[in-house]
Amino acid sequence: MSSGLGRNIRTDEFGRNIHTDEFGRNIRTDEFGINVLDRHRKRTLVPQRSGRHSEIYSAQYISTIDRTIDRYSEPVVSTIDRTIVSTTDRTIDSTIDRTIDSTIDRTIDRTTTEQVYDIRESNQC
pTM: 0.29
Q: What is the pLDDT of residues 8-39, one digit of tens each?
A: 566 677 776 666 666 766 666 666 666 665 54
> In whole angstroms, what separates CA 80 from the centre of its chain?
12
Q: For residue 44, what pLDDT is reported?
A: 43
**Band of the pLDDT at 112, cuts 50, 70, 90?**
confident
Q: For residue 3, what pLDDT is reported?
A: 46
Q: What is the pLDDT of residues 54-67, one digit of tens each?
A: 555 566 677 777 77
Cα–Cα distance between 87 and 104 in angstroms, integer?
25
Measured between alpha carbons, how far is residue 122 from residues 8, 113, 114, 117 in Å? 113, 14, 12, 9
Collapsed DSSP state (helix, strand, coil) of residue 11:
strand
Q: What is the pLDDT of residues 69-108, one digit of tens each?
A: 777 777 777 777 788 888 888 888 888 888 888 888 888 8
- With beta carbons less than 8 A apart as the criterion, state whether 9 and 1 touch: yes
